[in-house]
Chains A and B, each alone.
Chain A
């Protein structure tokens, strides 16, 4: 038999130091980005994290049924409205009782950017020592694909349908990651599933930084069912989101923004949008609007990272310290 050409095992595997605490058969749709992310987190951070979850696509798996569970993590199944406050209560008690902990407050964009934003903001202000992870599938998927604050311009959802007087969402998406970084919390980062080593590194960094306070990870996680995409394309969608600057990868320590991946020649946004049906109806003019938005946000991000470097960090923020 001919000698087989061997590559090197991807280094992402080195980050997966812990067991997958989830049952093998759980009811996420085929190709669901959320499933990949959810299994990935405890494999990197360890199985002794406490995870909180809210009504969303993640809930049927995170939360048990009667006495039974889908995974072996400690979890707190809670309300969309108060997720970050729940995590706050946990970490404050653990601190008082001297119990080591890594609390991961895991929520969809519906909770993080919309209905639960008030308490997310409060937790950031108080610099509560836990990791908030928002998986962004750009809508309320569990209730049947409705628009959220992170649904992009043009996208169709069941509440922003395409019709004679409407061409999908007629509003910009909000930049959740940037909103959080502006609070000067110890660690903010964006991540996605095509760049798993980047994601793993950011998770580990957050675990370290949460000793100094609040950490926020904004993870772009495609929903093939809701977006009208081929389940096989989930990773490719993430990749193109990065390559078009639609979802740039960056991190911010104490609010200081740094790109973790720079795209030399960004592709036009339609190389991304063509991968799914939710943008199908968009005209060239619509694409110009979306492209404009993407360019603006990216430009702003670059500008901020330069400005941040020029500005002297206030002592109050410096006192938070930095990750080694």
Chain B
């Protein structure tokens, strides 16, 4: 029945969804039937989708609403109320700058600006090539090591503007090396 929703997309809707997102939607369609049809499951379901796929595609909200027997507006209302949810795919290297109290006092704002400048994207945006995404978080519990930044899964402590440069360079170098390895393998 959920796949019906996918099948029922009109042309303009289908065109608005790229292949990557379409794959996510198909996966969500396959996952949803195992979720109990109870509005109490709404938040856990959104968490499930986000944990698995990194974000909530717009049409997935419609699927969730259908499955739980509620309205899209309600699902959307919930999803936008809570800070945890995002609606665009995160970058391969999601960067979260802590702007909790301790980090703020130690210049977290400046660190955020440095990432914005270095990556050419603003807070809550993902770079065109999906390599990076940037957001702010409130306290990751490393206040003693402020200012702190989470890059992927790794927490970087005592970040300074020049360390921002270092963090990005490191990612670029790793990427470059991986690309070279791959090329070697292909040859």
A binds B: no
